[in-house]
Structure 1
Amino acid sequence: MSVKSQGIANRRQQARQRPAVAADDATWIARFVEAIWAEQGLARASLQAYRTDLEGLSRWQSDAGGVTSQGLHQFDQATLFNYLAFRAGHQYSPRSNARLLTTLRAFYGWLLRQGHRADDPTALLQPPKLPRPLPKALSENQVSALLTAPDESRPEGLRDRAMLELMYASGLRVSELVGLPSTAVNLRQGVLRVMGKGSKERLVPLGDEAQHWLQRYLNEARPQLAGKKPVAELFLTAKAEALNRQQFWRDIKRYAALAGVDPDKVSPHGLRHSFATHLLNHGADLRALQMLLGHSSLSTTQIYTLVAREQLKQLHAKHHPRG
């Protein structure tokens, strides 16, 4: 078993044996979660993440690893630093610790604003450096094999071919793809109106192939899938319901296996990465790519230059006589 797997197993064992959260701490946590929900309207998953992080800190001080008898709302900077050090020594990932620090800053910032503390113990705590993994892009041959995997003689297969072609041609996020309304497509002008993150709208050009398969889907498959049911979404299931991300994820994995591509290396977002990488490989401008992907910051788009550079290095090493 790897060190990481052993760490996860140990934490699961500790979770089964962990003590209850102190009543006073539970009260502070509940007050904070209610307040931050009222202030920011966070999703249930985000609120639960805050709660879990704070409960973990409370339990830690009750365990052998704890070093203080104070309540959660009274912890000082040294206590929080010791907790972060404890987690780092028990194989918690940097990303998990970064999320924890976000929770702690929100909690102690709230205490400070409410007058329950005179200081913020998180003020000088530094977040861990997060690794920036390169997006995994398929080769152009792998993409071609994946695109031709669906059975176009079936309505669902024609739908999936159109979705794959559209995602690769436009670089859409999977949430943008499955959420497209029928009115978003303008085949006459060859563009797609996409509502991205932060409710930002952008126009994305469609290539000839994507237009061809979209036209076939709209003419042949969608009427069969929709039946007489009026549905606003563009891509539908056999029950005339909007296709969701999980269903499309399963379809991608199935088509990858049919195409001879390792399913573990393929994801809906991987087609977006492939779209960006292949455009750069063929000389696309970085600013234009930023607009097509709907990135608010160019620094987010620039990571694809690293992917392209890494692929060139691998190509050189493989084919150059002195590589």
Structure 2
Amino acid sequence: MTVSSLIEEFIFHCKFERNLTAKTIKAYENDFKQFKEFKDVSNLNVIEVDKVLLKEYIRHLYTLCLKPKSIKRKVVVLKGLFNYLEFEEIIEINPFRKMRISIKQEKTFPKTIEMKNIRKLLKYVYEIKHNIKDKNSFKYKSVVRDIAVLELLFSTGLRVSEVSNLKSSSINIVSGYIKVMGKGNKERTIHVCEQESKSILKEYFSLFKEEIQNKEYFFINRLKKRLLKSLLKKKLNL
């Protein structure tokens, strides 16, 4: 039986046997639509859906810049489908069995930092940038750098120390992927999704390309040295 036909059966079960709300059913249908469109899964025989395919799909969801909460919901819905198929003895092997799924939790700002203040700060520095006429001056370049730092901090949830220690070799300007060395020397990969953040990072790289060439650190000061954590905190009034 195809994945598509079994999804229809599961939706019928949810609607008429579990009596789920119309809103929930609609959300399920949207989640399944996304799954069916992935590698034309819709026409696959259900027994062809294995752990490898499911893990590929979960990785695919991350590339769409979805929030962890949304990814987790989509995986839970999909898992519900296969649990139902196993219970009804439509499939013998549930691909979700013994499958470890770790959805990274979304980083949140400390409660002392309000989003409205963040927006005000970003608006303020963007206005300064816009009003600087000499685009070749160090003042303009330093403002672009400061905006890039702020965008990174606020859009990714990186720590000030992590931004300060960001290596030039760890950031891919084109894809927006950044390798970060955090506490306990644990490396993780961050994806910059916000378009404004990507644009300002590209502008910073363009302006400082010669200065950071063959340099270890990505964010530098006037002396071409690493932008210190203490200076960043001072700029942010932390």
TM-score, normalization by structure 2: 0.46
Larger radius of gyration: 1
TM-score, normalization by structure 1: 0.34
